[in-house]
Structure 1
Amino acid sequence: MRTRIRLQIAAIAVGAALTAVAGWDYSEASSAWQEAIRDEVTRAGTDQDDVRRVYANEGPNAYRLAVTEIRAAALTVPARTDPTARTQQEIAAESAFALRSAAKPGTLLGERRYDLPDGGSDLAGRLADVRASHAPPPEPDDADRKGDGLARRAWNTSVLTAAFTGLIAVGASIRRRRPAVPVPVAVPVEFVPQPALATPDQRRASYLLLIIWAAGVLIPFVQLAYSSQEQRYQADAARHSVQARSDESVSRTRTEFSDTAMETAQESDVAATARQISAAYQGDRAAEAAAVLAQVETTAAERSVVVAHAMARVSPETPLARALTTQQHDWDRLTDLSARETRRADSASRVANMLLALIALVALIGPVIEYRRSQREEARAGAAPAPTPVTEPAVEVAAAAVPATGPGSRFVTGLAAGSTFGMIAALWLTRRIRVERAGSPDTSARNR
């Protein structure tokens, strides 16, 4: 008897300890996933600031300088014979010199190492230097992986608890036959319901109480697992939403620079056409000079277009190359992923809430069954003679000598074991969902 009580106490202590460990790990996993969201927001802000500095602040001035230098170089030859061309060439050269002189050291125009061989500036190289000039932003995937590891450890703890609870339930149900005459026994203290020590007429109620005890131990683990899944899906939904907005902002900043550069180049081409039209209404000498200047404008416009493409080009080695080249369908895909993760979070939340209701139901059923059993025992105690006092060894012998019942007892024993392993199967299903989700191609959208 004392051995059984010690085992019951040990089972309760181990189950409580494992529950605390699993609950702690799930809580830490949720904190890690929330940290991943904060890191994603921080990284998105850093990316947008770096791209805005290069493509929105320094890039337009660099392209303006490149266009001015191209124009000054194109006017060099006609400036030798045409006073108008000479004047325009001097203006372009002085403007280029002033822009270069006004640039601060360390900026795109202040450092000649960013100059491209055919004109313009290396925006990709400048972006790399800007990224290296400050501490790298936090990597959200690190916090994500930390949370996944904690969730896996909590799940493993839950499986261990389920297996341990199953062993305790089976051990509490096994009865050994002993050739002894059963005698009335005092009801022992049961920390865990013991069908093996119950009398035949009370054994079914003991089995039900054992099943309820096992369910009360294991259902909270399943509820924790689904609550954890809800937190995971919500974190993924938030991250996908932040990524979509960040990628759109980064890509549009580069696109706006490219569009503005092309418009500037087209303005030079329009000026060349206007000069040609103006030459048609002038004398031969003026028309010839205007035609030369128009050709210069056309040549400058063509070179400006080439420089614009070179400055806006994004090589695979460019920092944020993926974000800089995303399009509308990429942003829509991330938005759809966010909506899908939100739906998954809602589904997991509904399951977790139903499990909470089931926990409350289990907590209610146990006392009801215990109360009904005590009423029946009181009724029998009033109709039966008083039990003969026995010593503690006799209690153990008498309890072990209760004969096993037939198929009904085996059925209830199987029901107890089946309930326990059903909980294990539910935990396994939760783990399978997480594994399938981690291995799906959609998770690669988080990587940059």
Structure 2
Amino acid sequence: MSAPSRFDRGHTDDLMTFLSASPTPYHAVANAAERLEKAGFRQVAETDAWDGTSGGRYVLRGGAIIAWYVPEGAAAHTPFRIVGAHTDSPNLRVKPRPDTGAHGWRQVAVEIYGGPLMNSWLDRDLGLAGRLSLRDGSTRLVNVDRPLLRVPQLAIHMDRNVTADGLKLDKQRHLQPVWGLGDTVRDGDLIAFLEDEAGLARGEVTGWDLMTHSVEPPAYLGRDRELVAGPRMDNLLSVHAGTAALAAVAASGASLPYIPVLAAFDHEETGSQSDTGADGPLLGTVLERSVFARGGSYEDRARAFAGTVCLSSDTGHAVHPNYAERHDPTHHPRVNGGPILKVNVNNRYATDGSGRAVFAAACEKADIPFQTFVSNNSMPCGTTIGPITAARHGISTVDIGVAILSMHSARELCGADDPHLLANALVAFLQP
């Protein structure tokens, strides 16, 4: 990965491609895996025995991926350097009985996932994507990436007070998208449609995990194209940067004192408590098996974990020009100002002083600036996988990210330089 340049937008161009190709966590990890395969990594199954030879490996489980690179001659007690991120974003997800409608409209029944800015999903052309579970036990990804659904807003003529009182949405009644016309609701219509889209025979699909996405592609924005607007930057921006950094470090041939790792989890937006979430056993199991595969003991595992550091990379809040009073008065992260270090003394973020030093050293090595984010004391602070990772595995963890606007909108906004700056910082962290 080259040194950062204000005019080097190749990484950001590639991020936009990644965002478009990754409408769901399942697509995101498949695309990350494909990129790692091209860098020489190979998939290992959790049900197989693992060997301790050098090289790159990865594990896929649902919407999560754990990838790591074992340098030549790595000892069993070699510590890890981990980039943590999450693959999920707030959206509208299809219910178990999806076919519904009323008054001549055919609709799809959806449930609210995470904490989306619900108004951002109104009057927007939506596609449908996800994972289909088949009768033979296999799965198939599907992506209808064209205008298929729409959540129509009520006309102002029927809600004259909306401009004065603000938009009030009922999650059950007001967010069910339309996708056609018809007076009769027919159970099975949506799944039959998706079977056709995926080239499957009728009746093959017996389960599904489906979600909506905006079909408007990412785009540069502004007079000087200094900004990028696009979906799912929270947190595919970090997944993409971590994948690029791990691949670059593995390809460098450099002598590494650590084992670099990418850990991208699902379900962060709903608390991380799942078998593919950061609060589950996946990361710890993979790291332990890597130690044991290299002939290590429990003592080696303890030594490796004690020397391990994780950068929990997630998007944060850039100072908003229209709401600057909502930010801490002395901490105003700006877009294109470099990655942010996220601090909260109540452990909503895991950063402490020693973690700050680790991140500062990586940024200094990469010759990039960094900023600090602290919440306004009068407002509650969000959280990340950072504190969960630190508490569950006893691993020193630092919370970082990229400053954006419109977090949890169907379409978010970041600086065009920041994704590349973050990736450079991650390379320097993984390859100290």
Q: Tell me the TM-score normalized by structure 1.
A: 0.22
Give the greater-gyration-radius structure (CA): 1
Q: Which has the higher contact order (CA 8 A, sep 6+)?
A: 1
User: Which is strand-richer, 1 or 2?
Assistant: 2
